[in-house]
Amino acid sequence: MKDKQCNACGKILPLARFSPDRRASGGVRGKCKRCTSEAAKWARTRRREVPSEQSCSSCERILPASHYTPDGAYVTGLTPWCRDCRERKYYGRYRDSRPSHKDRRK
């Protein structure tokens, strides 16, 4: 097999025009290098503007964007929880179960 059809543009191209991928059945990606590059450019330009304020999904307060952690995995570009709720959720349990410095022995 010396040629392969690109899943994006549909053109039949030589294998040299595809990036290697050990996980793929043919050993190369499904999209040709050009289509992969265009998709990456489109994704970079698609970044959205961060809102000026947002509602916390935990405490339901509307707070300015500075009270949220940036995270590109979400549509808004911010985590859905404010920093206070996130700290309580992830770090509060650790802080409450940790012995104080007075209780620790050297």
Q: Where are the domains of the chain?
A: 3-45, 53-97
Strands 28-32 and 53-55: unpaired
List of E strands, the chain? 3-5, 12-14, 18-20, 28-32, 53-55, 62-64, 68-70, 78-82
| pLDDT reported for residue 4 | 93
Helix (H, G, I), strand (E, B) or coil at 8: coil
pTM across the whole model: 0.47
Alpha-carbon gap, residue 69 to 56, rounded angstroms: 12
| pLDDT reported for residue 5 | 95
Alpha-carbon gap, residue 57 to 79, rounded angstroms: 9
Q: What percent of the chain has pLDDT over 90?
A: 54
Q: What is the DSSP letter of 26?
A: T
Alpha-carbon gap, residue 33 to 7, rounded angstroms: 11
